[in-house]
Amino acid sequence: MKILLLGSGAREHALARALSRDPETTELVVAPGNPGTAQIATNLFIDPNSPDEVVTLAREMGADLVVVGPEAPLVAGVADALRQADIAVFGPSKAAARLEGSKAFAKEVMASAHVPTASARIVTSPDQLEQALDEFGAPYVVKEDGLAAGKGVVVTSDRDAALKHGLACLEREGGAVVVEDYLDGPEASVFCVCDGRTVRALSPAQDFKRIGDGDAGPNTGGMGSYTPLPWAPDDLGQQVIEQVAQPVVDEMARRGTPFIGLLYCGLALTSKGMRVVEFNVRFGDPETQAVLARLDSSLPQLLHAAAVGHLDQVAEPRWSDKAAVDVVISAAGYPSTPTTGDVITGIEQAEADPDVHVLHAGTARNDDNELVTAGGRVLSVVALGEDVAAARAKAYAAVSKIKFDGAYHRSDIAAPAYVER
């Protein structure tokens, strides 16, 4: 199978690794990719958000499957253009991608499909915003109604901070804000592979969104993850299919906008039962790095079957008995103003342990062909172990071998306090 993968982060490096290791894959092109994907695939520099450029490249290479990593190409209509050109694509149409792009749309679909979610108000004026904050009370959950790459959400007990974030969102053109109930249980991410009708759940994971230990500081794109979740029910994946993903997939099909791709179900497992916190329409970052480390069955087969509507003919994904932990190393100044250009060393030493692999995100080659930092989240260090504690110990041992000026990581990813609930 010839595969074109779009994107350039650690999530895409994880996808590229899983795709390239499978004998089904005969050719793998990543566009634009990163220095990590360059080691296992062919990187080609095109604009992944341009439907024309993507269709042209897919045609030129005779791609049997295009896998879309980030949400931006989906919102730009790349999957629609590929389907029109009769090219199999794993990723939803622009219309179906609204499940991530518009929180209000997602809420409306969930209401129609009777999916349990936090109650919420959509507000479009400062007065409504103040009213909603007072109605729900602290802690406040204020979300921008639009694409914010996971960074448009503020959760705070400080009413002034909640109001400030809400007002800033309203000031943007066409601004709308969603104010929600606070959910009391731990969060889980369950990725559901969908072909428009059939749904398969992947191994549940948890991510760590805040920059600091103990979940302190601002939200980031994600500082680490682990899977499976020892504290969650064994049948969590099945519960998510039954209560969330299948009803949403059925509702999207009923509306004539079938969901084909990855429905990322961000959940809170509350004292009142499962609640959807958010949907994303693509693999999550950094959960994907840990989830795919445990996948023992064929990723190309699974994604191709979803793309062509034959998911019911593919067996359930198989998982390693081991646990996986992913620790993100970020650059100094992240998430506001990360420094770049610092030389990175120690990846080979970190990977000396066969249970460890290092995935690239914000890296580049300088004029001397040295690996340097080039973004906020620089690397994802992924380790497998007999259980979460063993995987965690291996991940942190590997992290300690990687050096660059200002390197930062959380020291409590998958710590017992989170895992032994």
DSSP state of 37: G
What is the rounded distance in angstroms from the CA atom of residue 144 to the CA atom of residue 170? Answer: 8
Closest to ligand GLY by CB, 147 or 415? 147
Q: Does residue 73 have a cis peptide bond before it, meaning omega lies within 30 degrees of 0?
A: no
Binding segment (CB under 6 A) for ligand GLY, from list 35-43, 283-291, 327-335, 355-363: 283-291
Query: What is the phi/psi pair of residue 418, to 5°?
Result: -90, -35
Angle separating helix axes 299-308 and 10-20, nearest 10 degrees: 100
- Nearest approach in angstroms of CB 326 to ligand GLY is 11
Q: Least separation, in Å, of the C-beta of 149 and ligand GLY?
A: 7
Compute the least distance from the CB of residue 216 to ligand GLY, in Å: 18
The DSSP secondary-structure symbol of 244 reads I
Spatial separation of the C-alpha atoms in residues 144 and 408, rounded to whole Å: 28
Contact 334, 377 (CB under 8 A): yes
Cα distance between residue 196 and residue 310, in whole Å: 10
What token pair was written down for 345? Answer: 């060393």
* Cβ atoms of residues 90 and 58 within 8 Å: no
Nearer of residues 205 and 314 to ligand GLY, judged by Cβ: 205
Whose Cβ is closer to ligand GLY: residue 222's or residue 237's?
A: 222
CB nearer to ligand GLY: pick between 180 and 287: 287
Q: Which of 280, 298, 301, 363 binds ligand GLY (CB under 6 A)?
A: 280
Q: Which is nearer to ligand GLY, 246 or 280 (CB)?
A: 280
> What does the block give as tokens for 290?
């840990």
**Interacting residue with ligand GLY among 36, 284, 335, 385 (CB under 6 A):** 284
- What are the phi and psi torsion angles at 370 (to 5°)? -85, 150
By CB under 6 A, residue 326 contacts ligand GLY: no
Q: With CB under 6 A as the contact rule, which of the stretches 239-247, 284-292, 358-366, 404-412 interacts with ligand GLY?
A: 284-292
Report the alpha-carbon distance of residue 369 to residue 33 in Å, rounded. Answer: 17
Span of 158-166, 277-285, 295-303, 328-336 interacting with ligand GLY by CB under 6 A: 277-285
CB of 42 to ligand GLY, least distance (A): 26
Q: Which of residues 114-153 bind ligand GLY (CB under 6 A)?
A: 150
- Out of 144, 180, 251, 285, the only residue in the binding site for ligand GLY (CB under 6 A) is 285
Comparing C-alpha atoms, which of 285, 376, 380 is closest to residue 331?
Answer: 376
Stretch that binds ligand GLY, among 27-35, 111-119, 121-129, 278-286 (CB under 6 A): 278-286
For residues 215-234, which are near ligand GLY according to CB under 6 A?
222
Burial 72-97 (b: 16+ CB within 10 A, else e): bbbbbbbbbbbbeeebbbbbbbbbbb
Out of 287, 326, 342, 412, which residue is the one contacting ligand GLY (CB under 6 A)?
Answer: 287
Give alpha helix (H) positions in 124-235: 126-136, 159-171
Q: What does the angle CA 215 – CA 217 – CA 222 come to, to the nearest 5 degrees?
A: 65
Region 180-219 residues binding ligand GLY, contact defined as CB under 6 A = 207
Q: Kindly indicate which of the ranges 31-39, 279-287, 332-340, 347-355 contains the residues binding ligand GLY, using the contact rule CB under 6 A.
A: 279-287
Least Å from the CB of residue 278 to ligand GLY: 8
# residues contacting ligand GLY (CB under 6 A): 7
Instruction: Find tokens 């359930």 and name the residue.
Output: 316
Residue type, 258: P
Candidates 71, 60, 61, 74; CA nearest to 27 is 61
Collect all residues with Cβ–Cβ distance below 8 Å to 285 and sequence separation of at least 6.
Answer: 9, 10, 11, 221, 222
Considering the complex, state which of residue 36 and residue 152 has its C-beta at the smaller distance from ligand GLY: 152
By beta-carbon proximity to ligand GLY, the closer residue of 227 and 298 is 227
Indicate the residue among 195 and 326 with the shorter CB distance to ligand GLY: 326
Residue 377: CB minimum distance to ligand GLY, A: 11
* Residues at the interface with ligand GLY (CB under 6 A): 150, 207, 222, 280, 284-285, 287
